[in-house]
Amino acid sequence: MPHIVDNPLTANQEVLENLRLELRRGCLILAVLAELRIERYGYTLRKALADRGVEIDEGTLYPLLRRLESQGLLMSEWREEDKRNKRFYHLSKEGKSVLKQLTSEWNAISQSLDKLLNGVA
Amino acid sequence: MELVERYLQAVKAALPGKQSDDIVQELRDSILSQVEERESTLGRPLNSSEIAEILKKMGNPMTLASRYGGRRQIIGGSLFTIYWKVLTWALTIALVAHAATSIAIAASGKPFGESLAVFFHFPGVALKVFAIVTLVFAALDLLGARLRPCDHWDPFKLPALVKKPARKSKFDLVVQLVLQAVFSAWWLTGLHYQYLVLGPGANFIRFGPIWLKIYPLFVVTASIDIGLTALALMRPDWGQPARAVRLLKHALGLLLLFLLANASTLFVPADVNRVEWQPVVRSINFGLHIGLVAAIVATLVNFVRDGVRFVRQLFAHEQQAAMGL
């Protein structure tokens, strides 16, 4: 009787998935920082990112927000909205400066990669 | 909404205590926002399966909680490389010390079980070594120690290039195998028919009783020697098994040498009535004992060197396997 495998990911797909996650990790930080130039709480932030084509699950987003706040890049406060307490995040002064530097870094990498990847896909 | 609270309770149980209430409150808001949005789309309250679907998207409570943990390893970064090196060295030294003690006990003529018992202590000692080294490095990491390779290093001070010995050709290995077989047959037969080894000297001196007592060890050592050459001939890519067998051969060699060195007479006069031969035989025995001590030191050095190489290769393979290389 053939053995049925629950997770049909092949080794190659697994490597691809790991590389994809690695590639996304840094990009997500940049996307979150950019989106938090405007104050938002977690749920609306996730929706705003999704609307711009950057999907991020809650299990990744909320811990990331905490980490960025502990690094001093974000500031947050609890406020009531729609009869419920929500935690609003926005960029700190340091966060704005880091976003600026990361953006120029991103632009440089993006330009170089555009040249490198020209004709790959 | 009981399902949501059960989910949050499971997340909270795995969260660091300090911020758990705050995190859970934020997650609750996120889940309820998703529930409300879905309810407004459908125009009705969600059933438990639909709520479970939202919770499943949030992920396993343990996985979600673990993402809030900042510190995930007890020894991290470059400190781990040094930790790994120290640990392998400490375990190798412990193993060599046990092997040496075991051989020394066997050589002193005590029962074999007593010698073997030393090795039964090794797993316990290895566990203690592992625990101590790990705790020390975990403490260093916790204290933020900067035990990392120095940035100001000089390429000219790197160790000289180690030249790998050229692999023997098949012809050389076949010749070696034949010579080993001939030598083994000569030596093992010669211990019974001494004139084969001693020639005309057999009229003056004979092997002492120790040589026949340890005869089985000679047989095993000769078999291993021949087996190693055969292995190199048939499976030259089996480097690690060959290293393990070579290690065993060195250990047996050490045991042989210790047993011989421990024997009072290696050679006896062929004719006990010839008193004038006694000083000559004593001199031969004395000279051989000195030679045996030198051979023990050389074999011990080889044993330690090959042991270290074997453990290094073993850990290197494991590390490569862990890294998926």
**A93 close to A74: Cβ distance less than 8 angstroms:** no
Residues of B in contact with A45 (CB under 8 A): none
pLDDT at residue B15 greater than cutoff 50: yes
Report how many Cβ contacts below 8 Å link chain A to chain B: 46
CA B84/CA B137 separation, integer angstroms: 10
Q: Report if residue A121 sits inside a domain.
A: no
Closest residue by Cα to residue B9 from B52, B65, B51? B65
| φ, ψ of residue A57 in degrees (nearest 5) | -85, 160
Query: Distances in Å between the alpha carbon of A10 and those of A13, A15, A16, A23, B320?
Result: 5, 9, 10, 20, 20
* A88 part of contact set with chain B, CB < 8 Å: no
Q: pLDDT value at position B72?
A: 63
Q: pLDDT value at position B307?
A: 82
Q: Report if residue A5 sits inside a domain.
A: no
pLDDT tens, position by position, B261-302: 888 788 888 877 777 778 888 888 888 888 888 888 888 888
Query: Distances in Å between the alpha carbon of B290 and those of B104, B283, B284, B296?
Result: 17, 11, 10, 10
Q: pLDDT value at position A3?
A: 44
Q: Report if residue A95 sits inside a domain.
A: yes
Domain region containing A56 = 11-116
- How close does chain A come to B59, measured CA to CA in Å? 6
pLDDT tens, position by position, A70-110: 999 999 999 988 788 899 999 999 999 999 999 999 999 99
The most confident of the ranges B96-100, B159-163, B193-197 is B193-197
CA B235/CA B239 separation, integer angstroms: 9
Q: Report if residue A56 sits inside a domain.
A: yes
| φ, ψ of residue A76 in degrees (nearest 5) | -145, 160
Interface probe, candidates A62, A82, A83, A86, chain B, greatest B C-beta count within 10 A: A62
Query: Distances in Å between the alpha carbon of B127 and those of A54, B84, B135, B271?
Result: 48, 15, 12, 56
pLDDT at residue A2 greater than cutoff 60: no
Domain total for chain A? 1
Looking at chain A, which residue has its C-alpha nearest residue B61? A59
Q: Report if residue A40 sits inside a domain.
A: yes
CATH at A98? 1.10.10.10
Q: pLDDT value at position B181?
A: 85
Q: Report if residue A74 sits inside a domain.
A: yes
Q: Report if residue A26 sits inside a domain.
A: yes
CA B20/CA B26 separation, integer angstroms: 10
pLDDT tens, position by position, B139-161: 888 776 555 555 666 777 776 77
CA B72/CA B18 separation, integer angstroms: 17
**Chain B contact residues (CB < 8 Å to A):** 19, 22-23, 25-27, 29-30, 32-34, 57-59, 63-64, 67-68, 70
The length of chain A in residues reads 121
> How confident is residue B316, by pLDDT bands cut at 50, 70 and 90?
low
Q: Report if residue A25 sits inside a domain.
A: yes
ipTM metric = 0.80
> How confident is residue B184, by pLDDT bands cut at 50, 70 and 90?
confident
What's the pTM? 0.54
